């Protein structure tokens, strides 16, 4: 087991990944789970990549998580009679429900939810924020805007509405079809786009029905406002800095990222930092220094995982990108102040036996030269609580559930071993030591901390801790 880094890597699959052998290379280079981006590709493409991952999982006898990322609503302007127009600062532009091709004075906005939500004084962003409009007047079926930052605008460019909460479900008809397909495939995680409020999580949960774990993408200002409520309702959070960086001032994104990471750690929810982490490696075998620093900062802040998007999905150097990200993670984790930084941000423990034991193992691993922390967990809950403490030693999670093991691939410091006999282990200590040694996480003479629950195998019952030396 390659457990020499604690921060996980989530890599997106796409046309650059051509077969199972390529996926195996990425796993051996440090990828822990894979993303299927349903904004692109056909169902058959995703099914093939899913099967490749499961093939590698069986070959390596190592749980690998698979996340499906739903596209969410795509808000766009209509078409122009000449394909594009040039907007000039200070001019007026009408956005209306008329499907007739537009010109420099008006264009179709086929989203009545946007027109209903907008009020005079609010801003609209077009084409990933390259153009900015300000609403000056509102009518029943249109809004009149002033161009604040102009430029070329062409057919079907995207619209962002940062200052309004739209009465719009995050799940389109396409998303619902994709979700049904992904759940039938057997994905482990579902990433929900366009989250604006806690009710969006409730809606998605009802559709998923417990068949997968739910990750909320924070990419809207309203989601930032309701962050804690949203985080409590889902299983993990993704800091989706792409759309978030369009809808809030760019200089605010680093602070928001820190706030999200801190909130998720306090709540014990894994958090993924995503978008443009090593973007230049799509076309270059080496990253920029700024990108290296960006990844390093996410690791130092305590993120559970960092994500690669187009870098591995469609880039020229997917393997080199993963290798570079792994190097950055290890470099930060092996730094003299990494552990002390994590300890400073340690969350407040809850008054439970599980948290008391988790706090104890963090403290023990800072005092003794502990090789591994071995945790028996049916549901993964106690492993997640241990991960929340960010202990110095890696966490070996022993579970009879492959579903649990795949869920934990996104969580900081946890590496899982699945075995059906773990449901009925009588010699807890000897079995833990045996597996730790077999996985290469501990060798003779080294100290191992073991946590489990009595009665054994009952979820949520972790209540014992042992310190053992491997003989």
Locate all alpha helices (DSSP H) within 285-336, ordered by sequence: 289-301, 310-313, 318-333
**3-state secondary structure string across the chain:** CCCCCCCEEEEEECCCCCCHHHHHHHHHHCCCEEEEECCCCCHHHHHHHHHHHHHHHHHHCCCCEEEEECCCCCCECCCECCCEEEECCCCEEEEECCCCCECCCEEECCCHHHHHHCCCCCEEEECCCCEEEEEEEECCCEEEEEEEECEEEECCCEEECCCCCCCCCCCCHHHHHHHHHHHHHCCCEEEECCCCCHHHHHHHHHHHCCCCEEEEEECCHHHHHCHHHHHHHCCEEEEEHHHHHHHCCHHHHHHHHHHHHHHHHHHCCCEEEECCCCHHHHCCCCCCHHHHHHHHHHHHHCCCEEEECHHHHCCCCHHHHHHHHHHHHHHHHCCCCHHHHHHHCCCCCCCCHHHHHHHHHHHHHHHCCEEEEEEECCCCHHHHHHHHCCCCCCEEEEECCHHHHHHHHHCCCEEEEECHHHHHCCCHHHHHHHHHHHCCCCCCCCEEEEEEECCCCCCCCEEEEEEEECC
Q: Which of 35, 132, 265, 406 is catalytic?
A: 35
Strand partners, 264: none
Is 211 designated active site?
no
Q: Which of 76, 205, 346, 363 is catalytic?
A: 76
Is 241 designated active site?
no
Phi, psi of 115 (to 5 degrees): -60, -40
Q: How far is CA 431 from CA 316, 464, 471, in A?
A: 44, 15, 13
Q: Please state, in angstroms and rounded to a whole number, the distance separating the CA atoms of residues 105 and 161.
A: 20
Q: Which of 24, 217, 265, 390 is catalytic?
A: 217
Q: Which of 145, 275, 312, 409 is catalytic?
A: 275
Structural element, H or E, at residue 273: strand 271-274
Is 134 designated active site?
no
Is 275 designated active site?
yes
Which residues are identified as catalytic?
A: 35, 76, 217, 275
């Amino acid at each position: 087991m390659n457990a020499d880094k604690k921060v996980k890597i989530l890599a997106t699959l796409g046309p650059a990944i051509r077969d199972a052998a390529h996926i195996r290379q990425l796993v051996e280079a440090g990828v822990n789970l894979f993303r299927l981006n349903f904004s692109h590709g056909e169902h058959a493409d995703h099914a093939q990549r899913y099967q490749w991952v499961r093939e590698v999982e069986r070959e390596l006898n190592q749980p690998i998580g698979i996340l499906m990322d739903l596209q969410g609503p795509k808000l766009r302007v209509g078409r122009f009679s000449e394909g594009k127009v040039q907007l000039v600062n200070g001019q007026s532009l009408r956005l209306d429900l008329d499907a007739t091709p537009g010109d420099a004075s008006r264009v179709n906005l086929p989203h009545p939810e946007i027109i209903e939500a907008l009020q005079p004084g609010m801003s609209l962003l077009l084409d990933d924020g390259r153009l900015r409009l300000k609403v000056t007047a509102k009518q029943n079926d249109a809004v009149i805007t002033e161009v604040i930052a102009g430029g070329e605008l062409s057919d079907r460019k995207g619209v962002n509405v940062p200052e309004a909460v739209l009465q719009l479900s995050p799940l389109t008809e396409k998303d619902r079809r994709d979700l049904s397909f992904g759940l039938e495939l057997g994905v482990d995680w579902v990433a929900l786009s366009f989250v604006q409020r806690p009710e969006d999580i409730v809606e998605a949960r009802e559709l998923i029905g417990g068949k997968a774990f739910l990750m909320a993408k924070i990419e809207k200002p309203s989601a930032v406002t309701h962050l804690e409520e949203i985080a409590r309702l889902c299983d993990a959070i993704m800091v989706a800095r792409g759309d978030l960086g369009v809808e809030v001032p760019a200089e605010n994104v680093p602070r928001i990222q820190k706030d999200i990471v801190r909130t998720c750690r306090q709540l014990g929810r894994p958090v993924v930092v995503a978008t443009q982490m090593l973007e230049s490696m799509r076309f270059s075998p080496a990253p920029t220094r700024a990108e290296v620093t960006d990844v390093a900062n996410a690791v130092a802040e305590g993120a559970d995982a960092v994500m690669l998007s187009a870098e591995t999905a469609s880039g020229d150097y997917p393997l080199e990108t993963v290798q570079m990200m792994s190097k950055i993670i290890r470099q930060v984790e092996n730094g003299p102040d990494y552990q002390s930084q994590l300890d400073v941000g340690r969350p407040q423990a809850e008054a439970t036996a599980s948290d008391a034991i988790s706090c104890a193992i963090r403290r023990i691993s800072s005092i003794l030269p502990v090789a591994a922390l071995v945790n028996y967990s049916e549901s993964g809950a106690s492993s997640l609580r241990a991960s929340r403490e960010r202990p110095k030693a890696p966490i070996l999670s022993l579970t009879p559930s492959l579903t649990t093991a795949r869920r934990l691939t996104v969580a900081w410091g946890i590496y899982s071993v699945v075995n059906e006999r773990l449901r009925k282990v009588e010699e807890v200590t000897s079995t833990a030591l045996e597996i730790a040694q077999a996985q290469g996480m501990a060798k003779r003479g080294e100290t191992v901390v073991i946590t489990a629950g009595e009665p054994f195998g009952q979820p949520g019952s972790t209540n014992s801790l042992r310190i053992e030396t491997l003989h």
